[in-house]
Amino acid sequence: MPVLLLSYGDPQAKDMLRRAIEARYGLRPPVLDSLKLQFKGRARTKVGPIKTWVPVDVEAHFQFPKAMRWDFNVKPMGLSVQKGIESFDGTTYRTARGGKAPIEIADEKQVNAMQRRLWATASILLTPLSNPFVKLEFKKDDCFTAINTKIDDPADLYLRPDNTLDHVQVESIDPDGKERTFSLRLSTEQTTLNELILPKKINAFWDDEPYFEIEPVSAESNPDIDETIFTLE
């Protein structure tokens, strides 16, 4: 039987999402209410006066439709580990750096930009886009927009000719405070972790400037996640 979509919007966009889900998961896509993922890879960061690639570990938590958290540990050679957290509990955005106490971000523009990056990350999973809180809009033959109506954030999804997801992009604010396009570009190769099918490699860019590249190493579908994970308590 065909994939069931509860999202709403343009028929062309719904058909594109259906084809993308089938291209990755077949006719039995997973139902995801929550998710925990771990990644390993490398990131571009400043070490002294220059930017260079350094190892990075990432852990992501999702409680659909609204709560998302992104933890990263950057490990420059010969220097102490740099830790960071970005989290949205459905109401408030919080961030923490270097083991310091978390702070709430009040600037609406910055909050929206960070929420969009988290929503872009959730969108690469595809199945969360089939939920009733998602509105789909057709843009062109290879692109549709998925709007998370709970947080009013859009993400543009681009498909390859074989209907697999090529990349997701959103308008956001980079670490230097500049408005730029943030994109997650997915490898054609896939990997299966605990019955969840994911791209084998994910490359992030600000415009065309590399930001990080990571590979998923573990996945836990529908774990029980305490709400304090997202409030950083």
Q: With respect to residue 2, please indicate whether it lies within any of the assigned structural domains.
A: no
> 19: Cβ–Cβ under 8 A, 6 or more apart, which residues?
159, 163
Stretch (H or E) spanning 9:
strand 8-9
Q: With respect to residue 16, please indicate whether it lies within any of the assigned structural domains.
A: yes
User: What CATH number corresponds to the domain at position 155?
Assistant: 2.50.20
Q: With respect to residue 70, please indicate whether it lies within any of the assigned structural domains.
A: yes
Confidence at residue 80, expressed as pLDDT on a 0 to 100 scale:
65
Q: Which domain holds residue 211?
A: 8-231
Confidence at residue 79, expressed as pLDDT on a 0 to 100 scale:
66
Confidence at residue 91, expressed as pLDDT on a 0 to 100 scale:
85
- In sequence order, the β-bridge partners of residue 172 are 180
Residue given tokens 């692109």 in the structure block: 143
Confidence at residue 78, expressed as pLDDT on a 0 to 100 scale:
62
Q: With respect to residue 3, please indicate whether it lies within any of the assigned structural domains.
A: no
Residue spans of the chain under pLDDT 70 = 1-2, 78-80
Confidence at residue 1, expressed as pLDDT on a 0 to 100 scale:
44
Confidence at residue 211, expressed as pLDDT on a 0 to 100 scale:
93
Q: How many domains does the chain have?
A: 1
Confidence at residue 77, expressed as pLDDT on a 0 to 100 scale:
72
Within 10 Å of residue 123's Cβ, how many Cβ atoms? 23
Q: With respect to residue 226, please indicate whether it lies within any of the assigned structural domains.
A: yes
